[in-house]
Chains A and B, each alone.
Chain A
Amino acid sequence: MDNRLYMSSSPHIRSGVTTQRLMLDVMIALIPAAFAGIYFFGIRAFVLIAVTVISCVGFEYLARKALKRNNTVGDLSAAVTGLLLALNVPPELPLWMAVVGSFFAIVVVKQLFGGIGQNFVNPALAARAFLIISYGTRMTSWTPPLARAAEIDTATFATPLGALKEGGELPKLIDMFLGNIGGSLGETSALALIIGGIYLLARGVISWHIPVIYVGTVSLFAWIMGPTGMFTGDPLFHILAGGLMLGAIFMATDYTTSPMTTKGMVIYAVGCGILTMLFRLYTNMPEGVSYAILLMNVAVPMIDRYAKPARFGGKAHV
Chain B
Amino acid sequence: MAEKKKAFTVLVDGLINENPTFRLLLGMCPSLAVTTMAKNGLGMGAAATFVLVGSNLVISLIRKIVPDKVRIPAYITVIAGFTTMVHLLMAALLPELNKQLGIFIPLIVVNCIIFARAEMFAQKNGPLLSVLDGIGMGAGFTLAITAIGSVREILGAGTWMGIPVTVDLFEPAIMFILPPGGFLAMGFLVALFNKLTKKKKEDNGECETGCGLGCPGCSKAANGGEA
Which A residues contact B (CB, under 8 angstroms)?
94, 96-97, 100, 108, 130, 133-136, 138
Contact = CB atoms under 8 A, between A and B. Distances in A.
Nearest to A132: B175
Contact of B174 (A94, A96, A100, A133): A133
B170 A135 contact: no
Contact of A138 (B171, B175, B176): B171
A108 B183 CA distance: 12
A134 B170 contact: no
A135 B184 CA distance: 17
Contacts of A100: 173
Contacts of A108: 184
Interface string B161-196: 000000000110111101010001000000000000
B160 to A, nearest CB: 18
Interface residues of B, number: 9
Nearest to B155: A134
B107 to A, nearest CB: 26
A134 B184 contact: no
Contacts of A138: 171
Contacts of B178: 133
Interface centre among B170, B173, B184 (most CB of A within 10 A): B173
B180 A135 contact: no
20 contacts: A94-B171, A96-B170, A97-B171, A100-B173, A108-B184, A130-B173, A130-B175, A133-B174, A133-B175, A133-B178, A133-B180, A134-B173, A134-B174, A134-B175, A134-B176, A135-B171, A135-B173, A135-B174, A136-B174, A138-B171
A97 B170 CA distance: 10
A97 B175 CA distance: 13
B59 to A, nearest CB: 40
Given A96-B170, A134-B173, A135-B174, 17 more contacts: A94-B171, A97-B171, A100-B173, A108-B184, A130-B173, A130-B175, A133-B174, A133-B175, A133-B178, A133-B180, A134-B174, A134-B175, A134-B176, A135-B171, A135-B173, A136-B174, A138-B171
B64 to A, nearest CB: 49
A183 to B, nearest CB: 22
A164 to B, nearest CB: 26
Contacts of A135: 171, 173-174
A65 to B, nearest CB: 15
Q: Max chain A CB contacts within 10 Å: which of B174, B175, B180, B184? A: B175
A135 B171 CA distance: 8
Contacts of B180: 133
Contacts of A133: 174-175, 178, 180
A199 B82 CA distance: 68
Nearest to A96: B170
Contacts of B184: 108
A108 B185 CA distance: 11
B185 to A, nearest CB: 12
Contacts of B175: 130, 133-134
Nearest to A136: B174
